[in-house]
Amino acid sequence: MSINRDKFGALLFLCLALIYGFYVDDIPLLFGDEDAPFNAQTLPNALAWILGVVSFIQLVMPANQEAGNLSAAFRGLKWGPVVQLAVLMVFYGFTIRYLGFLISTTIFLVGGFAVLGERRIKVLLGASIPVVFIFWYLLTQLMGIYLAPGDIFEMLG
């Protein structure tokens, strides 16, 4: 049996939706929120359903003949940037507690833009630093979410 890349992608996303939907019930609810119309599980549940329905529709629709078979879909891909971005994500996960949100997110965005081909320092810093500070402001000042400054700043005083 031959499967093209569109069907393979739809199958992967359907599996992702099923697994994500299965674990939505593990999200803890506040006392009394079990019967509330909108709680901590509402949006993840809706996301799982939407992803599942869309991927199922993509899976059962007639195949696109231009999509090619699965082995042809993976030929000629550049895996270097994919691996570099994955390493950057792991680095970000390990450094966010130590360096804090602002520094580790800036390093992650600058590195990500560099992996994607941007080489001008002004553009790298001009695109990442404002985004980090705006996102930090939205999270901490407008939404009231506490972001720890990082262990390095606590050690410095």
Domain ranges of the chain: 5-74, 79-156
Entry pTM: 0.61
Segment 34-54 shows an average pLDDT of: 90
Q: What is the mean pLDDT of the chain?
A: 87
Contacting residues for 133 by C-beta, under 8 A, at least 6 apart? 102
Segment 147-154 shows an average pLDDT of: 84
Q: In whole angstroms, how far apart are CA 78 and each of 69, 74, 103, 110, 127?
A: 18, 9, 29, 20, 25
Q: In a 3-state reduction of DSSP, which class is residue 27?
A: coil
Euclidean distance between CA atoms 72 and 76, whole angstroms? 9
pLDDT value at position 70? 59
Segment 131-150 shows an average pLDDT of: 89
- Residue at token pair 């080489």: 119
Residues 63-101: tens digit of each pLDDT: 766 555 656 656 667 888 999 999 999 999 999 999 999
Quick one: which of 149, 154, 157, 143 has its CA closest to 101? 149
Contacting residues for 155 by C-beta, under 8 A, at least 6 apart? none
